[in-house]
Amino acid sequence: MKDKILGKYKKHFGNPQIYVKSPGRANIIGEHTDYNHGLVFPFAIEQSIGMFIGKNDIGKLRLIALDIEEEYIIDISNLTFATDGWTRYFINSLVALSYDQSTGIDIVFGGNLPQGGGVSSSSALTCGFLAGVNQLFEYNHSLDDLVNLASQAENGIGLNGGIMDQTAILKGEKGKALMIDFADFSVKKYQVPSEEYKFYLFNSGQKHNLVDTEYNKRRATCDAAVVQVARHRNNVKTLRDMMLSDVSQYLTDERSRKRCTHVIEENNRVIAAAQLMESGNVDGLGELLLASHHSLSNNYEVSTPEVDYLVDRSQKIDNILGSRIMGGGFGGCTINFVKGELADSDVEKLWKDYNSKTGLNLELYEVKANDGVVTERL
Ligand code: GLA
């Protein structure tokens, strides 16, 4: 794949200066907690985007997406946040960087990261490009700077997202999951169970359409709940400082109660997952995943009937210890914790049942923890 991307680059633009490999991410547990100063447990995956980058002296941003055979040429001066198409990830990255040079940039990218498959392909593009440009122009931005720039670039698009995806993609490490604490941005790495255990993603085939508006609404509800509780308990600054007793005592609105209950309990599930991984006794992760799903479905209300069915149906396969909706929600993927091998016959039956129930086609892929973004000067 790398050779194919390089071949295309050379054909169109000559010799590139930088190569970037930027992975997607999976999240074991800890959903809708990142923007609530909570805990998450993601890892960068092997599936990735490869990107060659170089300078040009014609003042243009020239972009080629190899897999979908699309190319764009954009004037690099006076860029402003864009909202449409995949080119916005590149444009918005340059806007976030306050890029004001006349030097143009050429990019060719491709890879095996499913686009729109719930593995954060948009953050992979954004983080990869920013890391590449950082090296190309020797800006010396730290990884934390890049996380924040990527978040600005993506938030320029409409989703008021947290920074779990960018952190996992930029800071990932082979074989490790990252327990990130967004109260102080600390990262603790844990060995991901391997050999006997596997993580699979089941892509529901349902595009997460509502994600922008509903996601932003969830976030606003949580922020408002914190303000309300803080009126009674002035040491409550974020949802992380809240306890379940605050929810029952100070929140009257049923919806706010459910949202905050999810976040508080989900943080506890992340801690429990880390303890299991530390002890090496990981079978119990399955139950935590299921509890997370039920909370995401019933309390945070970010699942869909199709994904609920998929999670329930997956439990009929003996060696799927647990599964849950992953990422922002409203479709996308489930993450499944599997002991041993998934039998082809079980997968086929699952695929058929899911298809006849929903009319959608399931896609399956195994995900393994891998390094975050890697850049190379050529
Ligand atoms: C999306 C966002 C993340 C995170 C998840 C939900 O993937 O980009 O920041 O909030 O949803 O956990």
Residues with CB under 6 Å of ligand 1 are 31-32, 34-35, 161-162, 164-165, 327-328
The mean per-residue pLDDT over the stretch 133-147 comes to 97
Q: What is the whole-number distance in angstroms between the Cα of residue 99 and the centre of ligand 1?
A: 27
Residues 201 and 186 in one domain: no
Q: Is 223 a catalytic residue?
A: no
Atom of ligand 1 nearest to the CA of 32: 12
Which residue type is seen at 354? Answer: Y
Residues 180 and 245 in one domain: no
pLDDT at 155: 83
Q: Name which residue sits closest to atom 1 of ligand 1, judged by CA.
A: 328
Q: How confident is the model at residue 118 (pLDDT cuts 50, 70, 90)?
A: confident
Rounded CA gap, 258 and 32, in Å?
13
Residues 45 and 167 in one domain: yes
Question: Residue 211: pLDDT above 90?
Answer: no
Residues 14 and 104 in one domain: yes
Task: Give the list of residues 6+ apart from residue 266 with CB closer than 8 angstroms, or none.
Answer: 29, 30, 31, 32, 33, 38, 39, 292, 295
The mean per-residue pLDDT over the stretch 309-325 comes to 97
Residues 216 and 308 in one domain: yes
Q: What is the whole-number distance in angstroms between the Cα of residue 328 and the centre of ligand 1?
A: 5
CATH number at residue 294: 3.30.70.890
Asked if residue 29 lies in contact with residue 334, where contact means CB atoms within 8 angstroms, the answer is no
Asked if residue 126 lies in contact with residue 166, where contact means CB atoms within 8 angstroms, the answer is yes
Residue 324 is part of which domain span? 197-366
What 3-state class would DSSP assign to 297?
helix
Among 33, 122, 126, 165, which residue has the most ligand 1 atoms within 8 Å of its CB, making it the best to mutate?
165
Asked if residue 323 lies in contact with residue 314, where contact means CB atoms within 8 angstroms, the answer is yes
Give the active site residue among 34, 84, 145, 165.
165
Question: Residue 362: pLDDT above 80?
Answer: yes
Q: How confident is the model at residue 368 (pLDDT cuts 50, 70, 90)?
A: very high
The rounded percent of the chain whose pLDDT value lies above 90 is: 90
Q: What is the whole-number distance in angstroms between the Cα of residue 57 and the centre of ligand 1?
A: 38
Rounded CA gap, 211 and 105, in Å?
32
Residues 239 and 354 in one domain: yes
CATH number at residue 35: 3.30.230.10
Q: Name which residue sits closest to atom 8 of ligand 1, judged by CA.
A: 161
User: pLDDT tens for residues 156-196?
Assistant: 766 778 999 999 999 999 999 999 999 999 999 999 998 89
Residues 106 and 219 in one domain: no
Residues 22 and 96 in one domain: yes
Residues 14 and 126 in one domain: yes
Q: Which of 203, 255, 233 is nearest to 362 (CA)?
A: 203
Asked if residue 51 lies in contact with residue 134, where contact means CB atoms within 8 angstroms, the answer is no
Question: Residue 210: pLDDT above 60?
Answer: no
User: pLDDT tens for residues 48-98?
Assistant: 999 999 999 999 999 999 999 999 999 999 899 988 889 999 999 999 999
Asked if residue 314 lies in contact with residue 322, where contact means CB atoms within 8 angstroms, the answer is no
Residues 218 and 87 in one domain: no
Residues 176 and 276 in one domain: no
Q: What are phi and psi of 319, to 5 degrees?
A: -90, 10
Domain count of the chain? 2
What 3-state class would DSSP assign to 300?
coil
For the chain, what is the mean pLDDT? Answer: 95
Weakest-pLDDT range from 151-160, 244-253, 268-277, 354-363? 151-160
Residues 71 and 132 in one domain: yes
Alpha helices in 23-163, H assignment, sequence order: 87-96, 121-136, 143-155
